[in-house]
Structure 1
Amino acid sequence: MRTSLRDAVAMSAAVLAPFLMGLALVPLRTSLSHTNLALLLVVVVVAVSALGNRFAGALAALSAVAWFDFFHTEPYQSFHIQDRADAETAVLLLFVGLAVSQLSARARVLRRAAVSDAQHLERLHAVSRLVRSGRCSADELVERIREDLIEVLDLRGCRFVRGSGPVDGPPPRLEPDGSLRVEGWIWDLDRQGWPDGETELWAVAHGRCHGVFVMTPVPGVAPASPEARLVAVDLAGLAALALSGQKDLAQP
């Protein structure tokens, strides 16, 4: 599994940020209640969770509890709590920090999904406009869709072969519903990932296959979302329409 630079920075911040906040609040520990000090540390947990992933958020919550104990409970500069109320505050800080970190990470995932869906929709609209306008040849449109498929499905490569598949034997094939068909196997694409080798995506229009996009996934990379796979199927359908001479997708 590849770790992004952003997630790596978030993991570092999960350890350092609560420490720095706890240290900065030391002059205020006699004037602020322990509850307020804990809430300020929760703010740091939220910030780390928004920057990174749920693991960074959980680590930040644990770090916040540790430095709250070290800097703001007696005996100071010790990972030991004498007062029962302080112990309860530390436990609540842990639970609140964990809960908030998971919610923040989930919000980040949903935000990414919304942005990705908007980008996929724009791709479909752009290709649809090209098909309607007739400003480019079928070959040019197929090349544009081939490049789009590489980005939408995060592929290592993709080539287009005219004619009705299969190209060589019965390789895995992406179905119109976004599932993967593998001869002789029940294949769960979301859990098992892409199979080894090439995968076909047929360009079908009016019940006829006009060509095959032969896709090469990147080994070890998680498959694209079901929504992205459906976009890929629609893009292949637009290629088939162009190849069949159908310029108008629908009449207004």
Structure 2
Amino acid sequence: MPDYLVRGPIAIIAALLAPLAVSAVLLPFRAGLTTANVALVLVLVVVAAAALGHRLAGALAAVSAAVWFDFFFTVPYQRLTITSSADITTAVVLLAVGLAVSQLAARARRLHVVTITDADHLARIHHAAHLAETATSPDAVVECVRAQLVGLLHLRGCRFQYGTLLGHGPRLEDDGSLTWGRGKWDVDRLGMPAQEIELRVVAGGHFHGRFLLRPTPGTTPSLQARLVAVTLADQAGAALQTTWAKTASSP
């Protein structure tokens, strides 16, 4: 099944329905199960949804799990009402843990690149990270990342644009996928689009700018390479965020 479907509409639908399906399986055994055990099972469902889907899928699974936990396993049954303070605590913890796990799973996919990329990829990340920590100017980090992106993704060219101007063309996302408008662009099947691709640089909740990538026609960078590109952009963002924070704190 295409990856964009697994991590797109199907992921959303599965995230909403999986907690209900598991709750239905557990329902006949409700009398012999504690609410804590039920909550643990539902957390596993949330983990699976976040790992196989994306951050939104994990968050929706957490909300769905909390709702069906309340509906089926707390007194009064078949009502969205909880009378026991212990069950209220369990439901809140279930929701909180589910949301946290969805964030961690999404982050883990990003960090997984460290374990699956080759030595050259790791060297690029290490060099950019070291430069982000030691460079006296963020421009040096931006230029280093720009040059690395050209080699990593086999680009015809790459430039960095400061500021908050956002484009409407194709965009390289955090998970290595490519979006264009409201849809996904299947890089593995179609290759890179001929149009300039936006790679946003965000750090500390602030948008610092974007790398504009000019693909070479006919090239198809691997998912690993695209994930490394996102990680490199994060290093540029860290350097820019440090400068921004110092400027903001200056009198």
Q: State the percentage of identical aligned residues.
A: 43
Deviations 1:116-141 (A, max 9, x none): x328649x9xxxxxxxxxxxxxxxxx
Change (3 A) 1:51 1:222: closer
Does 1:193 pair with 2:193? no
Change (3 A) 1:181 1:56: closer
2:97 maps to a residue whose letter is V
Aligned residues: 161
TM-aligned CA deviation for residue 37 of structure 1: 0.7
Q: Distance in 1 between matches of 2:227 and 2:120?
A: 18
2:210 maps to a residue whose letter is G
TM-aligned CA deviation for residue 65 of structure 1: 0.3
Is the 1:58–1:97 Cα contact (8 Å) retained in structure 2? yes
1:71 maps to a residue whose letter is F
Equivalent residue runs for 1:25-174 within 5 Å? 25-112=26-113, 114-115=115-116, 117-118=117-118, 121=121, 152-153=152-153, 158=156, 174=158
Deviations 1:142-180 (A, max 9, x none): xxxxxxx8994386xx4xxxxxxxxxxxxxx64xxxxx4
Residue ranges of structure 1 left out of the alignment (5+ in a row): 125-148, 159-172, 175-179, 200-212, 229-252
2:59 maps to a residue whose letter is A
SS in 2 for 1:79: coil
Residue 7 (structure 2) aligns with: 7
Deviations 1:17-54 (A, max 9, x none): 00101111111111011111111111101111110112
Q: Distance in 2 between matches of 1:65 and 1:37?
A: 11
Residue 134 (structure 1) aligns with: none
CA RMSD of aligned residues (A): 4.1
Is the 1:75–1:81 Cα contact (8 Å) retained in structure 2? yes
Q: Distance in 2 between matches of 1:66 and 1:227?
A: 39
Larger Rg: 1
Q: TM-score, normalised by structure 1?
A: 0.51
1:4 maps to a residue whose letter is Y
Q: Distance in 1 between matches of 2:228 and 2:114?
A: 14
Q: Distance in 1 between matches of 2:72 and 2:163?
A: 56
Is the 2:27–2:72 Cα contact (8 Å) retained in structure 1? yes
1:225 maps to a residue whose letter is V
Is the 1:69–1:81 Cα contact (8 Å) retained in structure 2? yes
TM-aligned CA deviation for residue 77 of structure 1: 1.3
Residue 225 (structure 1) aligns with: 230
Q: TM-score, normalised by structure 2?
A: 0.52
Q: Distance in 1 between matches of 2:88 and 2:160?
A: 56
1:64 maps to a residue whose letter is A
Is the 1:65–1:93 Cα contact (8 Å) retained in structure 2? yes
